[in-house]
Structure formats: structure tokens, C-alpha cells
Amino acid sequence: MVADHTENLFRRPRFDVSHRPFIIIWEVTRACDLACVHCRAEAIRWRNPSELTTDEGKQLLDQAAAIGPPAPLFVLTGGDPMKRPDLRELIEYGAARGLPVALSPSATPLLTAGTLEELRGCGLKALSLSLDGDSVRMHDSFRGVDGVFERTMELWAAARACGLKVQVNTTVVRQNVAALPAIARMALERNVMTWVLFFMVPTGRASALSPLDADECEDVMNFLYDVAGTVRVKTTEGHHFRRVVIQRAILERRGLSADAVLRLGPLYQRLSQALEPWPRKATIHVRRSPMDINAGRGFVFISHIGEVHPSGFLPLAAGNVRKNPLLEIYRQSPLFVRMRDNRALGGRCGPCEFTTVCGGSRSRALAIAGDPLAEDPLCAYQPGSFPYPEDVARVLEQR
């Protein structure tokens, strides 16, 4: 019997997420020189003249800074943020206002080691880079441009050298799922801050890709739990990873095999075998669940033209920062209020005992069922089927 480590499984914001967000993502532009096959934004090469201006961007940063303390994490994304000539000014302004500013750029010639050093000097704290394959062929085929894999590796090393924290993002689809063990090893060897796996939502260009089915997704998430004993793992639009963390921790406390109890499938077996040998640190700190936030619940996305969404993958606007303050939209808009009401969830998500720590992907529910409150079709779990409900209840009471 292993030690009980179901205590403190969750990373939770230290405030009421119905009152304020934990993370703010601003899509500063949709312009980008890549042609990624899974692009949510369906980015094009030129900037939209209706983008928020520099002054409007600073007003948005002012509003974000006024939310704290603690200040929300503020992420500048795109498209490719490097296409905005005022990017340095915006980073410097946000940092001066006390915001932890992160950047999610594209690996194009616009971003160099020297640029990263300069942005670090402006106050940038962290960088996220996309890695959707373990080889030049696979990754560059996702990006639609040659040379992106090698440039990503160079930027990863340069970012670490200048003191930036590096997050690596991987979109999980059928075309690259077999590469996950190799990408995990790269993340370990290069001391990644966090490996974030995006479970594909069929929106934008991603609609043409082949998603995993629900059982395969379950296998991948259990594989990620194994990885997370050594590398910090987070999922995006894969909120039921939090359920898997609870289930696996309970089974470990009881000394039971996850493979047998959860009936893990052949994809899990293949990924696990490909991962070996793998160092097993199994620290409680690493194995804690990703932050308990969801679309509109601790999370807010602002588009390049100022529209406010519960998620960047959920194309329903609740308002526009050009007309109303961000916090007013977040707190009061009917869309955001509905997103935070777990009692409104339909299908299996409604009665699920894990709803309060999961809630499913509202973006995927909208994309596939046409209803953002429908059940998450990528979750295979049947409510009440986990054989240790008393353990689940005890863990959830700790929230």
C-alpha cells in the first residue's frame, strides 16, 4: 500500500472565479505567416485594420491590472503576436502595471534569440512554443511551412538561456498521437516548465483533422498521468484529466492497478511501452491536478477586435471591451453566468460526480452538439461507475 497522496490534489485560485478571472488571453492579432492545419483562428498573413489599437490594448492591460492582487496571468497570443509592431510596448506597459505577461508566438523568422532577450528585458515572464510532432516531417506538416521544427528547437534553447520560463503546447489528434512519448521525453530533457496538451476542438481549420474517440482520449489521459510524475502536465479542452488524476490517486492509495480497474485500452498500452524507460519521480507537487478553471470560470479570452469569449475555442461573444469594461462582461453577461453554472449542464456532465472539478469542454459541446451546455463527447466516463465513490466524495470535500 502506497502512502495516501489524495490530499491537496487540486490547484485552485485563491479567489472566487465568478468574481474575477485567473487567466486572461488576448489575441492581439490573427495575422501569421504560418498555415497551421489546426489553427483555431484560421490566421492569414495580414493584420485586420479593426484590431484593438495600442491605446485600447493599454486600457485593457489597465483593466487587468486593476483586478488584482493577485494579478491575473496575462497572455498575448495570435495569430502571431510578433506581427504587431507595438508588441514590445505592450509587454513593457503590462509588466510595469504589475501583470505577469506571457507570450504565445509563432516560430517564424520574426522571432529570434535576440528578440527573446529584448522581450525578457521588457518584462516578459514566460513563453509558450508549439510542438506537434517529434520530427521535422511531422511538425512541419502541421505548420504548413518548412523549417519550423528546427526553429522551434532553437527558440526553446534561446528562451531557457535568457531566463524565460518555457511552456510547450501539443495539439492531440490521431495524426500525431503516437509521437506523444517522444515529445514527453523532449520535454523532460529540455526541462520544460509545463507540457500542455490541447485536445482538439473541431473549429477553424482543425475541423479537417481526425480527432481521437472518447476511449482513446481516456487512454491518452491515463498515459499523461504517468508522465506527470516527472514532467508537469496540463490539458486544454481536456478538463476530465482532473477526474483521471483523482481516480488514479485513489487507486494508488488502495494499491490497485489502474489498468485493471479502469480497463485501459490498447492505445494506453502502446504509449506506455513507447515511454519506457521513464524516470519515476512521482512527486505530489508535480502530480497535482491542473488549475480548476474552465471556459468563463476563471478564464476569459479577448479577440483581436475586442470581443470577449469564455474560451478561444468557443466562438460565442459575450460583449466587446470597446463598449463595456472587461470585468463587467465577465461577471454579468448571461453567457458567462451560464458557463459557471454546473447545474445547467446536460447529458452525462450534469449528474457526474466529478462535475465540480471538471465540467467538460464547453467548446467541444458547442462544436459537435451545437449547445455549449451539452455533455462533452470526448469523455467516455459514465457517472457513478468508479467503484470507490466514498473516496471520491472525501477528495471532493477538500475543495
pTM: 0.93
| CATH number, position 121 | 3.20.20.70
Q: 347-396, pLDDT tens digit by residue?
A: 999 999 999 899 999 999 999 999 999 999 999 999 999 999 999 999 88
Give the number of domains in the chain. 1
- For residue 120, the enclosing domain spans 23-211
- Would 253 be classed as within a structural domain? no
Question: What percentage of residues in the chain have a pLDDT greater than 70?
Answer: 92
pLDDT at site 44: 74
Is the pLDDT at 3 greater than 60? The verdict is no
Q: 105-116, pLDDT tens digit by residue?
A: 999 999 999 999
For strands 298-302 and 23-27, give the pairing.
Answer: parallel
Cell of 70: 493577485
Q: Is 236 helix (H, G, I), strand (E, B) or coil?
A: strand
Confidence grade of residue 399 (pLDDT, cut at 50, 70, 90) = low
- Would 394 be classed as within a structural domain? no
Q: 259-281, pLDDT tens digit by residue?
A: 999 999 999 999 999 999 998 76
Is the pLDDT at 318 greater than 50? The verdict is yes
- Would 126 be classed as within a structural domain? yes
Distance of alpha carbon 255 from alpha carbon 267, whole angstroms: 23
Is the pLDDT at 70 greater than 50? The verdict is yes
Closest CA to 394 of 229, 246, 239, 242: 246
**How does DSSP assign 61-108, residue by residue?**
HHHHHHH-SSPPEEEEESS-GGG-TTHHHHHHHHHHTT--EEE----S
pLDDT at site 285: 45
pLDDT at site 41: 56
Average pLDDT, the chain: 91
- Would 179 be classed as within a structural domain? yes
Q: 169-179, pLDDT tens digit by residue?
A: 999 999 999 99
Q: 14-39, pLDDT tens digit by residue?
A: 789 999 999 999 999 999 998 787 67
Q: What are phi and psi of 307, to 5 degrees?
A: -75, 140
Cell of 327: 470585468
Distance of alpha carbon 129 from alpha carbon 336, whole angstroms: 29
- Would 309 be classed as within a structural domain? no
| Average pLDDT of the segment spanning 104-127 | 97
Q: 211-242, pLDDT tens digit by residue?
A: 899 999 999 999 999 999 899 999 999 999 99
| Average pLDDT of the segment spanning 77-102 | 97
Q: Scan for cell 470585468, then name that residue.
A: 327
**How does DSSP assign 22-40, residue by residue?**
SEEEEE---B-S---TT-S
Question: Strand ranges (DSSP E) for 238-317?
Answer: 294-295, 298-302, 307-309
Is the pLDDT at 4 greater than 80? The verdict is no
Is the pLDDT at 119 greater than 50? The verdict is yes
- Would 171 be classed as within a structural domain? yes
- Would 262 be classed as within a structural domain? no
Is the pLDDT at 246 greater than 80? The verdict is yes
- Would 151 be classed as within a structural domain? yes
pLDDT at site 13: 76
Distance of alpha carbon 296 from alpha carbon 317, whole angstroms: 11
pLDDT at site 8: 63
Confidence grade of residue 320 (pLDDT, cut at 50, 70, 90) = very high
Cell of 186: 523532449
Is the pLDDT at 95 greater than 90? The verdict is yes
